[in-house]
C-alpha cells in the first residue's frame, strides 16, 4: 500500500471505484442544498450578470459551486484576512509579479515570498470577522496575495460587482447564507468523503511545519474541507462540461510529472510546445500506458511540469479543444476554471493520492489514477 500523505482515494481497496460513487452522492446532495436554499440568490445574481453582459451565462450548477466556494473560503480564511494590512498585501503582490519571471528572479522571489507569506498570511485573528462588503473584499485580497487562488478570485469578481450594488442589509443576509452553506458542507462532506482525507489533520499537525518559510506554506497548509471542496467541485465541473467535451474533435490528456516511473534524469520524454511527449522508454510507466492508450483511441498525452504551465493564452474557440487535466486534489478547481477561461472544454481526473517531490515527499511517490474513470470521461468503450 502506498504511503498516504494527506488523502487516498483507494483507501484499503485495490482501486478508487467506491470513491467515485461517494462523490456523486455528495455532489447531488450539495447541489440539492444549494438549489433549495439559494435559489433566489442565484437567480438574482445570474440576472445581474445577463443584464450587464459580463459573460455568457454558464450552467446554474457552476454558480451554485461559486457560492459554495465563497462560503467555504470565508470560513477558512476570513480571520486571516482580517489581520493582513494593505502594506503587507502590496509586498506579497509585488513578489508574485516578480516570480512571473523565469530563472534566478523567480527563485529569489519565491524564497522571499515564503518568508513573508509565513509572517503575513498565517496569522489568524481570535475575534470573529464581521460579515460585510468590506470584509468580503479583504478576503478576496488575502486570497489573491497568497497566490494560490488565482482562478477562484477571478470568479469572485462578478460577485463583488453584484454585492456592491446591494443595500448593506441585503448583502449581509446573502453572505451569511453562503457562509451557512459552507458550514453545512463541512459537516456533510466529512460524513460522506471524510474517510478519504483522514490523514490531512495529522499532516497539518506533524509535517506542515517543514514548509514554514517556504513559498508553498499556504498550499500545503490547506484544510480538510478544501480537499472536499475540490472533490465536489471537480464532479460538478465534469458534469457541466461533459456533453461539450464529447463534441470536441481535439482531445488532450494532461498528466503531471509525478506519474512518471523514472525521474527527470532517466525519463526520455522530449520537449514539445505544450509540455513533454512520452517516448515509451519504460513499459511499466503509467505515462507510457496512457500514451499507448492515446494512440489507440485518438487523444494526445502531454506531461506537464507544473499546473501553471498547462495553460497558454492562445486564441482558441470554445468547443474546439477538450482537455482532461490530471492533478492532485488541491489543484482541481484552479485548473478547471483556468481551462474554461481560456475557452478549453475541461474535464478533471483526480490522482488517487499525492506524492510529488515539490510539495509532498522528498523522494517522490509515483502516482496513479482510476483507469475506469478515465475511460468514462473519454467515452472509451472496450
Q: Is residue 101 pLDDT above 80, yes or no?
A: no
Residue 312 has pLDDT above 80, yes or no: no
Beta bridge partners of 348: 325
pLDDT at 311: 61
Write out the H or E segment, with its range, that includes residue 287. helix 286-297
Can you tell me the mean pLDDT for 63-89?
Answer: 98
CA diameter of the chain:
63
Q: What is the pTM of this model?
A: 0.95
As given in the structure block, the three cell numbers for residue 226 are 478544501
Burial class of residue 23, CB neighbours in 10 A (0-12, 13-18, 19+): buried
Check whether 21 has a pLDDT greater than 90.
yes
Neighbours of 298 (CB within 10 A): 11
Residue 315: per-residue pLDDT = 80
Query: Average pLDDT in the 312-321 region?
Result: 83
Q: Are 298 and 322 in contact (CB under 8 A)?
A: no
- Give the per-residue pLDDT at 105: 86
Mean pLDDT of 299-313: 74
Residue 156: partners with Cβ closer than 8 Å, 6 or more residues away: 66, 70, 140, 143
Contact 230, 307 (CB under 8 A): no
Amino acid 2: pLDDT? 67
- Asked if pLDDT for residue 381 goes beyond 90, the answer is no
- What are the CA-CA distances from residue 114 to residues 92, 194, 211 (Å)? 10, 30, 9
Spatial separation of the C-alpha atoms in residues 4 and 382, rounded to whole Å: 32
Write the pLDDT tens digit of every residue in 127-171: 989 999 999 999 999 999 999 999 999 999 999 999 999 999 999
Q: Give the C-alpha separation, 53 to 279, whole Å.
A: 46
Other beta carbons less than 10 A from residue 161's beta carbon: 13
What is the pLDDT at residue 181? Answer: 99
Query: Which residue has cell 472509451?
Result: 380
- pLDDT at residue 103 tops 80: no
> What is the rounded average pLDDT of the residues 248-272?
92
- pLDDT at position 373 is 97
For residue 277, list its beta bridge partners.
270
What confidence score (pLDDT) does residue 12 get? 87
Show the 3-state SS of 67-126. Answer: HHHHHHHHHHHHHHHCCCCHHHHHHHHHHHHHCCCCCHHHHHHHHHHHHHHHHHHCCCCC
pLDDT given for residue 323 in this prediction: 97
Q: What pLDDT was estimated at residue 248?
A: 96
Residue 362: pLDDT band with limits 50, 70, 90: confident
The string of pLDDT tens digits covering residues 159-207 is: 999 999 999 999 999 999 999 999 999 999 999 999 999 999 999 999 8
Per-residue pLDDT at 37: 98
Across the range 255-282, mean pLDDT stands at 90
Confidence of residue 264 (pLDDT cuts 50, 70, 90): confident
- Note the pLDDT of residue 372: 96
Q: Averaged over 276-285, what is the pLDDT?
A: 93
d(CA 106, CA 95): 9
Lowest mean pLDDT, pick from 41-50, 56-65, 87-96, 273-282? 273-282
Of 79, 208, 211, 77, the C-alpha closest to 144 is 77
Q: What is the mean pLDDT of the chain?
A: 94
Q: Is the pLDDT of residue 308 over 70?
A: no
What does the alpha-carbon distance between residue 165 and residue 177 come to, in Å, rounded to a whole number?
18
Mean pLDDT within 266-290 = 91
Whether 359 shows a pLDDT value over 60: the answer reads yes
Amino acid at each position: 500500500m502506498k504511503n498516504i500523505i494527506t488523502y487516498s482515494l483507494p483507501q484499503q481497496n485495490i482501486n478508487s471505484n467506491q470513491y467515485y460513487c461517494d462523490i456523486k452522492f455528495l455532489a447531488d446532495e450539495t447541489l440539492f442544498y444549494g438549489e433549495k436554499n439559494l435559489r433566489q440568490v442565484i437567480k438574482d445574481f445570474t440576472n445581474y450578470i445577463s443584464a450587464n453582459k459580463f459573460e455568457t451565462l454558464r450552467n446554474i450548477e457552476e454558480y451554485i459551486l461559486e457560492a459554495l466556494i465563497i462560503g467555504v473560503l470565508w470560513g477558512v480564511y476570513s480571520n486571516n484576512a482580517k489581520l493582513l494590512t494593505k502594506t503587507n498585501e502590496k509586498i506579497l503582490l509585488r513578489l508574485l509579479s516578480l516570480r512571473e519571471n523565469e530563472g534566478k528572479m523567480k527563485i529569489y522571489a519565491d524564497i522571499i515570498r515564503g518568508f513573508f507569506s509565513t509572517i503575513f498570511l498565517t496569522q489568524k485573528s481570535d475575534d470573529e470577522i464581521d460579515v460585510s462588503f468590506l470584509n468580503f473584499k479583504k478576503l478576496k485580497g488575502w486570497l489573491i496575495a497568497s497566490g494560490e487562488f488565482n482562478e477562484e478570485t477571478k470568479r469572485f469578481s462578478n460577485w463583488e460587482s453584484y454585492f456592491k450594488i446591494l443595500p448593506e442589509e441585503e448583502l449581509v443576509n446573502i453572505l451569511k447564507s453562503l457562509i451557512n452553506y459552507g458550514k453545512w458542507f463541512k459537516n456533510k462532506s466529512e460524513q460522506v468523503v471524510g474517510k478519504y482525507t483522514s490523514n490531512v489533520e495529522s499532516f497539518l499537525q506533524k509535517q506542515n511545519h517543514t514548509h514554514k518559510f517556504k513559498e508553498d506554506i499556504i498550499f500545503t497548509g490547506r484544510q480538510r474541507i478544501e480537499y472536499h471542496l475540490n472533490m465536489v467541485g471537480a464532479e460538478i465541473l465534469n458534469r457541466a462540461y461533459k456533453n461539450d467535451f464529447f463534441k470536441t474533435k481535439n482531445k488532450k490528456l494532461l498528466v503531471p510529472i509525478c506519474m512518471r516511473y523514472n525521474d527527470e534524469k532517466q525519463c526520455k520524454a522530449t520537449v514539445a510546445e505544450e509540455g513533454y511527449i512520452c517516448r515509451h522508454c519504460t513499459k511499466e510507466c503509467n505515462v507510457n500506458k496512457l500514451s499507448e492508450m492515446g494512440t489507440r483511441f485518438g487523444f494526445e498525452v502531454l506531461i506537464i511540469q507544473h499546473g501553471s504551465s498547462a495553460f497558454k493564452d492562445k486564441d482558441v474557440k470554445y468547443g474546439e479543444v477538450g482537455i482532461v487535466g490530471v492533478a492532485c486534489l488541491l489543484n482541481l478547481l484552479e485548473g478547471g476554471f483556468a481551462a474554461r477561461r481560456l475557452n478549453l472544454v475541461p474535464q478533471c481526473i483526480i490522482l488517487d493520492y499525492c506524492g510529488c517531490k515539490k510539495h509532498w515527499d522528498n523522494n517522490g511517490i509515483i502516482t496513479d489514477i482510476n483507469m475506469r474513470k478515465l475511460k468514462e470521461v473519454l467515452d472509451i468503450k472496450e
